[in-house]
Amino acid sequence: SCPATNPSMLNVHLVPHTHDDVGWLKTVDQYYYGDRNNIQHAGVQYILDSVIDQLQKDPARRFIYVETAFFYRWWRQQSQSTQRIVAQLVNEGRLEFINGGWCMSDEATTHYSAVIDQMTLGLRFLNDTFGECGRPRVAWHIDPFGHAREHASIFAQMGYDGFFFGRLDYQDKARRMKTKEMEMLWRASESLTPPLADLFTGVLPNGYNPPEGFCWDQSCDDAPIRDDPDLEDYNVDEIVQKFLNAAFYKTNHIIMTMGSDFQYENANLWYKNMDKLIKYVNALQAKGSKVNVLYSTPSCYLQELNLANLTWPLKTDDFFPYADDAHDFWTGYFTSRPALKLYERLSNSRLQTCNQLEVLGGPKSKSGPFGEGDSDTMKRAMGVAQHHDAVSGTEKQHVAYDYARRLATGWAHCEVQKHKLHHSNTLATLGSEAPRVFCENLNISVCPLTESSHKFSMNVYNPLGRTVSWPVRLPVNGSVYSVTDANGRAVDSQVGNVFISLKCTCYIYDMKSSCLLPLLSVSMYQKSESFQKNEVMCVFVLFGNYRYNASAGNNKESRQTSGAYIFRPNSSDPFVINKTAETQIVTVSSTVQEVTQRFSPWVSQVVRLYEGHRELELEWTVGPVPVADGLGKEVITRLDTDIKSSDYFYTDSNGREVLERRKDYRPTWELKQTEPVAGNYYPINSRAYIKDDKHQLTVVTDRSQGASSLYNGSLEIMLHRRLLYDDFRGVGEPLSEPGEFSDGLVARGRLLLTLSPPDTAADVHRPLAQGMVLQPLLSFQDGTPSANTKLEFSGLQTSLPPAVHLLTLSQWDKDTALIRLEHQYQAKESKTHSQPVTVNLQKLFSTLEVLGASEMSLGANQWKEDMNRLQWNTEKTSKPLPLSAKDPSPWEVTLNPMEIRTLLLRVRQL
């Protein structure tokens, strides 16, 4: 259905579009209905009404729609006859879905698990509703503030043919325009065999806005096209010249985004003027003009690029950090709203648990295919939370509260479902009379049940596919407790801090560690198998808390301030918050050693080492950040070691593959560094590390944060920020979260530190990070379980192999479940685990019989065998490319390093 183009002319593809944020200055509901137009004039329901009306007036007109969270709501409110008209427009390619996830996700602060889920949710709605013609071919991230390599890898594996975005570093963009490298092939994985993770990627010429002077929305001031009799007034020749000047693309096609934020509420304005633009510019062809303007879509433009059969430059790193000017680095949002970032991450863990229990509980735990199950509220809340102004922390305060409220409702729905399950016969239950309590404030040591009960039971659901050891700390009131496990065996515990070692096979944590805790510093000693017996490896780790003072806009180089998006310290050296922290050894026992450090009334830290664990836990508490001195503050923790890391450090991409970073350096262009701190910050979603030949220090985080290494041997992580000025990127508020008592938000979190030889480090940090993402679900009941209660249950027959991660297990239809199995190691990362590994689907579950399995694309909206992506030629690479192993039989799935296999299983409850 693509429009005809002219091979001997410059073809200008006009792409009518609207950019509808799933919450930002207004909540997602306010945007949908057009409520609170005093904040921002925007109403998505009217946009869709108006566009559908205008599309019917001329078959040449095109429109693309992106955010399924909005479209889904609108669709459900339409009459059958409107639905029929829309379906026809989709079938004829006049209305095309692009991207198609629930939202346009943020790329810096999202975790791949939640990104895949939100894409799956949107794509499923489109396939269920429109079938094959509703399947988006192009990924479209026109607004996110920097681009992650893992996102590109995910899009490639979802079957997208190409990817377009608007924002990249201004120095990078200038260079690419000069060398005609605005379009390229992105090789987004070092582990997957090309072209599995290759994605054609294009930078749009005007961000996502129309070219200057061509904005014809009701929200714009540009002059309409005045024809007959005043046409002379409007210089069509000048327009033609403007298009010809945009010659920084390789082919004789260019794409023009005709639209912007919440535009097309009165679509007639746009279409009427574009109709004229096309008519008058093309009329000049009779006089020898070589410009051909047409209505088009990103996939039609992409098809022309593909037909051109050129060789495209290859890109292998990512697009972080993003700067739009010399002192304007968008690296603050990596940490903005730390509590929302944690809550979003914990909600992902809850959703995965909820999904798994629905499958294990069988059909009775869920009543319908789409929109009625207990997990669906949480799926949609998480889908909305991935938006690039949600988990990113760049929304207004009232909108941030709305995201949190949606997640809380999701939790409540999942709890209803867990109650149901625990009363069903399928799943083992601990007693059935006493109400089950989920103590959601355990993070601040509050659980009324455990605090008041003399006898209670705790139920632990572990959503990982393998056994873990997980320390538990409960607030209690008594002084003597006896703790037993499911088999009646005593569990090592200690009153004040009850530590219950869950079913544990410590297949990697088999090295003893000990620790000395002098003031402000920790030495970690560990014996490692790969070293000579008794040889002690020692790295000195000094950690301290620092803060940067935020620029207040009075700096002579630029008026840029630190804000929700932008990080701009007013000096490159951070201030030490307190050199002489008050240190208290709280506990030294058989289960844990723990030291509390108070740096100031608003910064403290607990350092813990658990028996049988190799990692050191730092539990930090920051806030309320004082600002009475008139200075905004950005608080970091810095680990200074004698590791000879030089200028190099490593950060993960959306929690998966790791990229090498180098101070004051970009792999693809000659960087002119203008912000020595902010210009070296990168997002981390699950981990960061520094290393030399002998040692690797890895920090695993509990949420997304910003991190950097500014000195040899040093790694810093930004924990919290509180600022006094807006940073002029539209949100219009300073980032100063009020917290519970309006005197500033208190944020608390954990960092896990591990020290290993570099060649075995992944064997430690990979499982550690997965354990941090998928946390056990604890629930409590008063009293003793009755005698006939089954106390232990496992949904899997055996532990998954160490390299395999159970990424998804979710009810799909009545008799089908969606499963994603993932190889969690990169190629060459681990001697032991970076090998192909095979899983037998029929031997997976203990209560489900697998009757059939069909493989799907990563987004689960296409059968694997139907996937047929466009092929692209690229420069030759010198790097050896990984090869992949094949499945030995239809029931056995082989996973190569970093591979995710998505399967629809036909299942029957046993």
Ligand X SMILES: *[C@@H]1O[C@H](CO)[C@@H](O)[C@H](O)[C@H]1NC(C)=O
Where on the chain is the footprint of ligand X (CB under 6 A)?
Answer: 127-128, 131, 309, 339, 440-441, 443-444, 451-452, 477, 549, 551-552, 554-555, 570-571, 578, 580-582, 598, 600, 631, 642, 644, 646, 712-713, 746, 748, 856, 861-863, 873
Residue closest to 142 by CA, chosen among 313, 14, 264, 261: 261
Compare residues 554 and 889 and give the one whose CB is closer to ligand X.
Answer: 554
The entry of ligand X, Zn ion, none near residue 580 (CB within 5 to 8 angstroms by kind) is ligand X
CA–CA separation, 47 and 53 (whole Å)? 10
For the window 553-582, what string marks contact with Zn ion as x by the rule CB under 5 A? ------------------------------
Nearest residue to Zn ion, by Cβ distance, number only: 143
Q: 18 to each of 177, 213, 262, 406, how far by Cα in Å?
A: 25, 18, 6, 25
The DSSP code for 19 is: B
Residue closest to 645 by CA, chosen among 700, 701, 689, 699: 689
Interaction with Zn ion in 455-474: which residues (CB under 5 A)? none
Per-residue H/E/C for 48-90: HHHHHHHHCCCCCCCEEECCHHHHHHHHHCCCHHHHHHHHHHH
Shortest distance in whole angstroms from residue 262 CB to ligand X = 30
Compare residues 21 and 172 and give the one whose CB is closer to Zn ion.
Answer: 21
Residues 6+ away with beta carbon under 8 Å from 509: 469, 612, 613, 614
Outline where 397-436 has alpha helix (H): 397-423
21 is a contact residue toward Zn ion (CB under 5 A): yes
Q: For residue 44, which phi and psi values (nearest 5 degrees)?
A: -65, -35
Compare residues 285 and 397 and give the one whose CB is closer to Zn ion.
Answer: 397
107 is a contact residue toward Zn ion (CB under 5 A): no
Shortest distance in whole angstroms from residue 19 CB to Zn ion = 6
Residue closest to 351 by CA, chosen among 320, 325, 383, 324: 383
106 is a contact residue toward Zn ion (CB under 5 A): no
Compare residues 21 and 702 and give the one whose CB is closer to Zn ion.
Answer: 21
- Residue whose entry in the numeric block shows the structure tokens 């096309």: 278
763 is a contact residue toward Zn ion (CB under 5 A): no
CA–CA separation, 681 and 661 (whole Å)? 10
Residue 29, classed as helix, strand or coil, is: helix
Shortest distance in whole angstroms from residue 24 CB to Zn ion = 6
Shortest distance in whole angstroms from residue 316 CB to ligand X = 21
Shortest distance in whole angstroms from residue 643 CB to ligand X = 7
Shortest distance in whole angstroms from residue 286 CB to ligand X = 32
Interaction with Zn ion in 128-157: which residues (CB under 5 A)? 143
**CB-CB contact of 539 with 704 (8 Å):** no
Residues 6+ away with beta carbon under 8 Å from 670: none
Compare residues 389 and 415 and give the one whose CB is closer to Zn ion.
Answer: 389
Alpha carbon 891 to its chain centroid, in Å, reads: 32
Shortest distance in whole angstroms from residue 825 CB to Zn ion = 35
Residue closest to 32 by CA, chosen among 18, 17, 50, 20: 20
Residues 6+ away with beta carbon under 8 Å from 488: none
| Structure-token pair, residue 89 | 């427009």
The entry of ligand X, Zn ion, none near residue 591 (CB within 5 to 8 angstroms by kind) is none
Compare residues 143 and 358 and give the one whose CB is closer to Zn ion.
Answer: 143
Q: Total binding residues for Zn ion by CB under 5 A?
A: 2
Shortest distance in whole angstroms from residue 330 CB to Zn ion = 13
For the window 814-853, what string marks contact with Zn ion as x by the rule CB under 5 A? ----------------------------------------
Phi-psi region of 204 (alpha: psi -120 to 50; beta: other; left: phi over 0): beta
Shortest distance in whole angstroms from residue 685 CB to Zn ion = 20
The entry of ligand X, Zn ion, none near residue 77 (CB within 5 to 8 angstroms by kind) is none
Phi-psi region of 759 (alpha: psi -120 to 50; beta: other; left: phi over 0): alpha
The entry of ligand X, Zn ion, none near residue 143 (CB within 5 to 8 angstroms by kind) is Zn ion
Of the residues 20, 106, 143, 172, only one is catalytic, namely 143
Helices (H) and strands (E) in the chain, counts: 15, 39
The entry of ligand X, Zn ion, none near residue 443 (CB within 5 to 8 angstroms by kind) is ligand X
Is residue 866 part of the annotated active site? The answer reads: no
**CB-CB contact of 531 with 638 (8 Å):** no
**CB-CB contact of 634 with 721 (8 Å):** yes
What residues are labeled active site? 143
Report the interface residues with Zn ion, using CB under 5 A: 21, 143
